[in-house]
Amino acid sequence: MTPEITQDFSSYLNQFFFGIYPYLAIMIMVGVSIMRYDRDQYTWKADSSQLLRSKGMRVGSNLFHIGVILLFFGHLVGLLTPEPIYHLIMTAATKQLMAMVAGGVFGTLCFIGLSMLLYRRLFDKRIRATSRFSDIALLVILYVQLILGLITIPYSAQHLDGSSMIALANWAQHIVTFRAGAADFIVNEAWVFKAHIVLGLSIFLVFPFTRLVHMLSAPVKYLFRTGYQIVRRRGGA
């Protein structure tokens, strides 16, 4: 292909993945989640394997959930806080350094926990025998996404002026406010940032088809649980 065709194709991919794909992923996630909850609530659960074997489950699960929750809200605040607001208390460079440190700590917690859960899912014969392909595939996808996120840290260290943070934040803020030109902000960013974003959006896309849906209702159901449980006497009706 000629350089012009290659450049046009690259521009098209950039526009699709960072200008169109975010909306497709979110629309499918929201629409299918509503349909699944409305039509098939029985499948709206975590399908925990703790009853099969609890060894390693509690520590791994706690580390994973603590890490992933902190990472999620860290990304949310870091990407969606407008420049004029955080400039009241810190510079872009300081914000990026904080994001690198916090991301490294929370990412490491999540990595340890997810490693334990994935090892358990793959090498515990009893759990492996009852695992669906989607169970293992989901953990692998999350594992790759987490590794990509950790790899972004040394790349961010090459731009301690905060330029990468500003570019990514501008992209995210343009997406959530439906402004044109969002994809242009990250056209020159490193491949690892782009891969991290695309895989993250893909997780949103497959979200309603997996056990991840329990994240939406589990906290609410826990707060408003009835406080009783149905039991059956042994040998009785």
Return the number of other C-beta atoms located less than 10 Å from residue 75's C-beta. 16
Note the pLDDT of residue 155.
93
Note the pLDDT of residue 230.
45
CA distance 200 to 188: 19
Note the pLDDT of residue 235.
53
Note the pLDDT of residue 41.
65
Least confident range from 85-99, 129-143, 185-199, 220-234: namely 220-234
Note the pLDDT of residue 129.
83
Give burial (CB, 10 Å; 0-12/13-18/19+) of 117: buried
In three-state secondary structure terms, 61 is helix
Q: In the chain, pLDDT over 70 holds for what percent of residues?
A: 83
Note the pLDDT of residue 52.
47
Which pTM value belongs to this model? 0.84
Mean residue pLDDT across the chain: 85
Note the pLDDT of residue 124.
84
pLDDT, tens digit (0-9, with 9 covering 90-100), for 27-59: 999 999 888 887 876 665 555 554 445 566 788
- What domains sit in the chain, N to C, each tagged with a CATH number? 13-223 (1.20.950.20)
In three-state secondary structure terms, 124 is coil
Return the number of other C-beta atoms located less than 10 Å from residue 16's C-beta. 12
pLDDT, tens digit (0-9, with 9 covering 90-100), for 88-146: 999 999 999 999 999 999 999 999 999 999 998 888 888 888 888 888 899 999 999 99
* Residue spans of alpha helices (H) in 89-212: 92-123, 125-130, 133-156, 163-176, 191-206
Residues 6+ away with beta carbon under 8 Å from 121: 49, 127, 128, 131, 135, 136, 139
Helix (H) or strand (E) run with residue 15 in it = helix 3-15
Note the pLDDT of residue 205.
95
CA distance 116 to 54: 12
Whether residue 233 is predicted with pLDDT greater than 70 in this model: the reply is: no
